[in-house]
Structure 1
Amino acid sequence: MSRYRVFTDEQWERIAPLLPSNDGKVGRPYGDHRTVVEAIAYRYRTGVPWRDLPREEFGPWQTVWKRHRKFAYDGTWDRVLAELTAQADARGEVDWVISVDATINRAHQHATNTTRPEGHTGAGSNDRNSGSGGFHSEPADHGIGRSRGELTSKIHHAVDGRGRPLAVLITPGQSHDGRALEVVLSLIRVPRAGGAHARTRPAAVLGDKAYSSRANRTMLRKRRIQTVIPEPADQQANRQRKGSRGGRPPNFDADLYKQRNVVERSFALLKQWRALATRYDKHATIYRGAAVIAAILTWLRS
């Protein structure tokens, strides 16, 4: 296979019918989708500027950029991912023991020359905007914040038991992982055949100590999701100090928690794409779109 390609013929045959066509509509019909999608993947895999895409292989870079932007904002990439997960779920191949985590990535200076509200924390309702792709507007802070690593962004994953992403969220680098948990879980939506309701509820959620809070445990309990999150030492001490008023220690399945490494492996795979390991995109929606393409490829390869 050419070094400019990442999709095999078999993989492409699976996603080609899922991409939109504007045949018969006003405007110029789309050109070859495969060339453009391969160009998008090549750009993020190698980290080259859009303008430096090999024209002899991919054609005008403007075509590649515009189509990626359109598909990121109108939810095309999310619909492709949802269909692949739905097909896997129909075959009984989705492991609904979900692991969640986030990885922090440095934002290049080319991504940071945009106006952002001063002092924005990156938490709350704006997290939903940052992570939902084409279904909400671009967040005011563009998913970039100031942390110990200077200007950074976080990519949050919720992966199934085999490490395949079911949900992708972008938040500013200084935002707390635990505060994004409910938003990340809300992005899990696997359609079902026959008009049945999409599956949105995991059997269990595995997370590290950053996700341990009363609010998160209450939310998971109300949704009847098994919580597999260790209790930090300070929370243990606070509970023990209160005596009987502190309540019982939370249930924790140490053996099941060992499976959480799949989310770390998903980030190791994600960061093989240089323009995801370092953020060059100004807009969170564009950056997230590429992370969803990487997730699509993970499902195709599995």
Structure 2
Amino acid sequence: MSSVSVSRSRVLSDSQWDLIRPLLPSNVGSRGHPFGDDRQIVDGIIYRFRTSVPWRDVPRGEFGPWQTVWKRHRRYAGDGTWDRVLHALLARADAVGLIDGNVSVDGTIARAHQHATNTTRPDQDTGGTSNHKNLRLSEGEPPGHGVGRSRGGLTTKIHHAVDGNGLPLAIVVTGGQRNDGAMLEQVLDDIRVPRIGGGRPRTRPDQVAADKAYASGVNRRMLSARAITAVIPEKSDQIASRKRKGSTGGRPPAFNSDAYKDRNVVERSFALVKQWRGIATRYDKLAITYRAGAVLHACLTWATLLGDTP
């Protein structure tokens, strides 16, 4: 799995920027001032999430006015720019055979800082925010801003789908108390790999590996209906219930223990994305801007891999 190398002032490498620059929108010909140094602004966004400094403390001498850095990220998060960049990079990676169709899914908790929680919200948010295509800035924010009460207090949960190499394919954000298994269908629906040259995008992985939190009959039937192989172990109570029923309990679901050994790639992906302190702890009030930071990290991960590919 490729890691993202960053420096303090010039965060993006030249190869990463060459891939990302053509995918960013331009306001040339529209009302208002044309965008300035796009690379400087994107560097500022990355710097903020990597270091978790308040937006106001983003160094002006290196990245320009903090207001510009924040407004650009807010715009890109709301209008789906970072998702479109990720999809374009996935299309390019798929064209050269870099995407492994054996997907792993899991969720990880991020503690919400008090700066992220001083908003009006219900105590138990169960909504999720994922792909924001063609949405205005005022749309796409889930109820409660994706902050919920779990055992660790006020938290947010990132649900991740990664390919067989641990590279990110889909990112969904919910309140921290949201059950992992209940989000499986939404996470899979967020996987979209366009095809260069046209055609329907790839949305169906070959198999899905997940832990026992996903071992519900609903999830197994959903995967079966989509012709996706489930690599999910049974819970002990499910095994006991089936055995109590005897011959009427049915057969145990198929389970490939060797394939399940590779599920840890999703855990390693969380370890990488949480190297960005602004992702490991949530400081953003809005779920869409917090999620966009994780999507931006995914963009850099794929850009790094593509930049290293001849």
Question: What TM-score, normalized to structure 2?
Answer: 0.93
- Deviation of residue 112 (structure 1)? 0.3
Shift of 1:140: 1.6
1:94-139 Cα distance to aligned partner (Å, 9 max, x none):
101000001101000000011112444x1xxx32xx1223545211
1:168 corresponds, among 155, 171, 176, to: 171
Cα distance per residue 1:246-294 (max 9 Å; x no partner): 2110000000111111100000001100010000000100000000001
Does 1:61 pair with 2:60?
no
Task: After TM superposition, list the pairs within 5 Å mapping 1:67-146 onto structure 2.
Answer: 67-120=72-125, 122=126, 126-127=127-128, 130-133=129-132, 135=135, 137-146=140-149
Letter in 2 for 1:26: R
The 3-state SS of whatever aligns with 1:245 is helix
CA contact (8 A) 1:5 1:42 kept: no
SS in 2 for 1:71: helix
Please tell me the residue identity of whatever aligns with 1:197: R
Cross-structure match for 1:190: 193
Shift of 1:194: 2.6
Q: Of residues 194, 205, 224 in structure 1, which corresponds to 2:227?
A: 224
Per-residue deviation, 1:2: 4.5
Name the structure 1 match of 2:211.
208
Distance (whole Å) between structure 1 residues aligned to residue 286 and residue 113 of structure 2: 12
Aligned to 1:19: 24
Summarize deviations over 1:188-223 as a string: whole Å, max 9, x none: 010012320000000000000001000000000000
SS at structure 2 position matched to 1:133: coil
SS of the residue corresponding to residue 208 of structure 2 reads: strand
Unaligned 5+ segments in structure 2 are 1-5, 306-310
Match of 1:52 among 54, 57, 61: 57
Aligned to 1:156: 159
Structure 2 SS opposite 1:146: strand
Moved over 3 A (4+): 133-136
Q: Distance in 2 between matches of 1:290 and 1:202?
A: 25
Distance (Å, rounded) in 2 between the aligned partners of 1:47 and 1:147: 23
Match of residue 245 from structure 2: 242
Give 3-state SS (helix, strand or coil) of 2:160's partner: strand
Distance 1:240 1:210 in 2: 20
Runs of at least 5 residues in structure 1 that lack an aligned partner in the other structure? none
Q: 1:87 to 1:181 in 2, by over 3 A?
A: same
1:133–1:288 Cα contact (<8 Å) kept: no
Matched AA of 1:16: R
- Residue 296 of structure 2 corresponds to 293
* Aligned-residue offset at 1:11: 1.1
CA distance in 2, matches of 1:2, 1:150: 34
Aligned-pair CA distance for 1:301: 1.9
Look up the equivalent residue of 1:173 and give its one-letter code: G
Distance in structure 2 (CA, Å) of the matches to 1:193 and 1:155: 29
1:3 corresponding residue in structure 2: 8
Task: Please report the TM-score for the alignment, with normalisation by the length of structure 1.
Answer: 0.96
Q: CA separation in 1, counterparts of 2:123 and 2:55?
A: 29
* CA distance in structure 2 between the aligned counterparts of 1:17 and 1:119, rounded to whole angstroms: 41
Two-structure CA RMSD over aligned residues (Å)? 1.1
CA distance in 1 between counterparts of 2:39 and 2:290 reads 20
Question: Following the alignment from structure 2 to structure 1, what is the Cα–Cα distance between the partners of residues 95 and 7?
Answer: 33
